[in-house]
Chain A
Amino acid sequence: MGSSSPGREGIGRPGEGARASARPRRVPAYRRSAEFRWTHDAERCARCKRCVQQCGFKALSWEDGPVVDPDKCVGCHRCETFCPQEAIAVVPNVQHYRPHPLWGQAHRQNVYLQAETGGVLLTGMGNDLPYPILWDHLLLDACQVTNPSIDPLREPMELRSYLGRIPDKVEVKMKDGRPEPATEMGPVLQVETPIIFAAMSYGSISLNAQKAIAMAAAECGTLWNTGEGGLHEELKPYADRAFVQCASGRFGVHADYLNAGAAIEIKIGQGAKPGIGGHLPGEKVSAAVSETRMIPVGSDALSPAPQHDIYSIEDLKQLIFALKEATNYEKPVSVKIAAVHNVAAIASGIVRAGADMVYLDGFRGGTGAAPTIIRDHLGIPIEIAIAVVDQQLREEGIRNRASIVAAGGIRSSADAAKAIALGADAVAVGTAALLALGCTLCQKCYTGKCSWGITTQDPRLTRRLDPYVGSKRVANLVRGWSAELEEILGAMGVNAVESLRGSRERLRAVGLDKTTLEILGVKPAGVGA
């Protein structure tokens, strides 16, 4: 589109078409290229300036027409989406350096940027490197002839799930000639679908975004998670469906907060940044964020990488029971860890320490901000983590003591079904919920300038996201996936998600090596029952 439009007179360099409206760039001593090429058809333009208003990154300005600062365009497509004339196209800026199989574009650009700044590269959302995606090597079974499938339209399908501890055994005593349970049952969480929302704090995302997710959780009978950002006053009505998180910064953690939630989550690690803490930069700590986190305005909110009162499983047990004591044993406690090499043994320790849930976050999980090098190179796939943790807990005879929640790159109901078949009790989704709110995965969450009003605290931007409308979109997503899960269950001839849990016999693999198959506990396609 750009090349067909004539450059406007007097702006930019003549004769360059779409690039004609580009502002001259500061020219460094090296060659770092803009990531995106912003093109604009001047003939179609209605000169409404909406593109300039919509850009959260201030990449566009108006000088008798839209002018782009190519260094600032992140390719979020907000302007393109909101242009009433469809006059804008944002396309990847193809570079014409000599191609090199080892030194790809990203590597070269990163070296240039670090040569300039000497800093650690930051990014947002999940790992974007092309590691193998094991979900795409797993296929689900279906019924044919000898084992009739079930039509979810005419028969009830059970997606309702329970998260928490199941006693090792249930003892029954007789009272007045009638049996009644003698075993003390711990608190469990009931969800209407095995899809819950991942932890995203107020601070990393806007209040409107968090509210949309909380409202969707209430509407769908599932759970949301405060992340380590405290519980905002306006979200208290939704707290009975929330995990309230307690992490190393202890932001907003106090007795009322712990008692307000449906469950408590101790965050040890995050899939996008295993082994490192979190830094919410001071400029994102607004008055409201400060109130919710209970820290001064403008100060960095540092969550140190480990919790310095937890150096062992024994220490973890101490915190688990400190939280249970503080809440009169009425709240199940989840422990969230990043999936790392030794995840099975760690999960076993977590369960033995008294956790009611283990939340596994795979290396493709999202983040509001993380060093790129950490996000892209640490951890292990969630598919592997689920399989080895489930296996370890079964072998030790303690699988009943805790539910497994799996997260980190769940893209569809099929991924969810495969995760459950591998051994998860539920999956948690973060990125998918943000996509439902308009996110385009530009990965610039850490800048706080999100044009879609999701990962920003700028009131000019956050008001773009209507929490009610957003909640309907997120709830629709959960409903759609849940309906698909019912279809999958029906095709597999089972009428409850419980029947799929840990049923690896219903999975087959294509294109995986023998060792990976053994680790996953899955047979290759072509092998029958």
Chain B
Amino acid sequence: MRIDARELHYRELNRQIREAVAGGETRFELANVNGQRYIGDGIQGEKVQIDIEGVPGNDLGAFMDGPTVRVRGNAQDAVANTMNAGRIVVEGRAGDVLGYGMRGGELFVRGKVGYRVGIHMKAYRGRMPVVVAGGTAGDFLGEYMAGGMLVVLGLERQDGEPLIGDWCGTGMHGGVIYVRGEVDPRLVASKFASMGPAEEKDREDMRPHVEAFCETFSLDVEEALAGAFVRMAAISHRPYGAKYAV
């Protein structure tokens, strides 16, 4: 199903998608998307594929449970908010607060990602959310992270451009963050997250996700995995355990 989103309010666009999904439609091509919010919001079903030409607005794939979304352009803020399952692929850059409270599925962003990415991501049973950013990430990466995996590849980086921003891993109590290259320890919240070199086991854990990422964007996986990675992980699953007088 092809929908021309030009001058279409998000409410109307999303209504059409919801009704078509309820009617059994699984393939969507959205043309001329220009800032419409909430595309894919709450949509369930692994067979649903949404192809977006243009720039979708905030909360792309919020509460989404299964579909695959591909954005042929940049995405804005709050992509994959509280997403349960599915895959979101962004061919350009994406904004702030990506993957907030994400519980499962994958978010692949070809370029840079903004601030507050992966806050309170959590793993549960078979579900493990994965966010892979091809470029660099901003401040507050993986704050309050409770599970899942964040990978920052730093591809096509300018000389001297930092891989991640300040306050990485504040409040982190689960999950793992991998960054390709060297990270200034001052950027990492050492009270919550430990940082060290990624070992062979880490590369094994990361590999299938980076492979999927590279396949998606036709990139060379060996190039993406070349060089050393650092690993950030929670020091405690109970970061507030010792705070109280009992």
Interface residues, chain A, with chain B CB atoms under 8 Å away: 113-114, 116-122, 246, 248-250, 253-256, 258-259, 279, 281-282, 290, 294-296, 298-300, 302, 304, 308-309, 318, 321-323, 325-328, 371, 447
Contacts A256-B44, A300-B241 given; 20 further ones with Cβ under 8 A?
A: A118-B245, A250-B103, A255-B84, A279-B240, A281-B241, A282-B237, A282-B238, A282-B241, A295-B147, A296-B174, A298-B237, A299-B237, A300-B237, A302-B173, A302-B240, A304-B171, A308-B100, A318-B58, A321-B37, A325-B14
Interface residues, chain B, with chain A CB atoms under 8 Å away: 10-11, 14, 18, 37-38, 41-44, 58-59, 62-65, 78, 81-82, 84, 97, 100-101, 103, 116, 119-120, 122-124, 140, 143-144, 146-147, 171, 173-174, 237-246
**Interface contact B237-A250, CB-CB below 8 Å:** no
Set of chain B residues within 8 Å of A120, measured between Cβ atoms: 243-245
Closest to B14 in A: A325
**Interface contact A254-B120, CB-CB below 8 Å:** no
A259 to B22, CA, bound (A): 15
Set of chain B residues within 8 Å of A290, measured between Cβ atoms: 124
Closest to A328 in B: B18
From B43, B143, B174, A299 is in contact (CB under 8 Å) with B174
**Interface contact A122-B122, CB-CB below 8 Å:** no
Shortest 8 CB-CB contacts between residues of A and residues of B: A326-B42, A119-B245, A250-B101, A117-B245, A325-B38, A325-B41, A294-B124, A326-B63
**Interface contact B246-A318, CB-CB below 8 Å:** no
**Interface contact B244-A309, CB-CB below 8 Å:** no
Set of chain A residues within 8 Å of B38, measured between Cβ atoms: 321-322, 325-326
Closest to B140 in A: A308
Set of chain A residues within 8 Å of B42, measured between Cβ atoms: 255, 258-259, 325-327
**Interface contact A322-B81, CB-CB below 8 Å:** yes
Set of chain B residues within 8 Å of A371, measured between Cβ atoms: 244
CB A176 to nearest CB in B, in angstroms, measures: 28
- Per DSSP, chain A at the interface is mixed
CB A363 to nearest CB in B, in angstroms, measures: 21
Q: With A294-B124, A300-B239 in contact, is A250–B100 under 8 Å at CB? A: yes
**Interface contact B146-A299, CB-CB below 8 Å:** yes
Set of chain A residues within 8 Å of B116, measured between Cβ atoms: 308-309
CB B178 to nearest CB in A, in angstroms, measures: 20
CB B246 to nearest CB in A, in angstroms, measures: 7
CB A115 to nearest CB in B, in angstroms, measures: 10
Set of chain B residues within 8 Å of A279, measured between Cβ atoms: 240
CB B235 to nearest CB in A, in angstroms, measures: 13
**Interface contact A295-B146, CB-CB below 8 Å:** yes
Set of chain A residues within 8 Å of B44, measured between Cβ atoms: 255-256
**Interface contact B171-A253, CB-CB below 8 Å:** no
Closest to B57 in A: A318
**Interface contact B123-A309, CB-CB below 8 Å:** no
A290 to B43, CA, bound (A): 24
A298 to B144, CA, bound (A): 16
CB B153 to nearest CB in A, in angstroms, measures: 24
Closest to B19 in A: A328
From B59, B119, B123, A296 is in contact (CB under 8 Å) with B123
Would you give 8 A-B contacts (Cβ < 8 Å), ordered by A? A254-B103, A302-B173, A304-B171, A308-B97, A318-B59, A322-B37, A322-B38, A326-B42
CB B87 to nearest CB in A, in angstroms, measures: 16
From A119, A282, A304, A328, B246 is in contact (CB under 8 Å) with A119
**Interface contact B84-A254, CB-CB below 8 Å:** yes
Set of chain A residues within 8 Å of B146, measured between Cβ atoms: 295-296, 299, 302
A290 to B64, CA, bound (A): 21
A380 to B187, CA, bound (A): 38
**Interface contact A249-B59, CB-CB below 8 Å:** no
A526 to B143, CA, bound (A): 58
Set of chain A residues within 8 Å of B119, measured between Cβ atoms: 304, 308-309
Q: With A120-B243, A254-B63 in contact, is A302–B144 under 8 Å at CB? A: yes
CB A129 to nearest CB in B, in angstroms, measures: 19
**Interface contact B244-A119, CB-CB below 8 Å:** yes
Q: With A249-B120, A255-B63, A294-B103 in contact, is A308–B144 under 8 Å at CB? A: yes
**Interface contact B100-A309, CB-CB below 8 Å:** yes
CB B82 to nearest CB in A, in angstroms, measures: 5
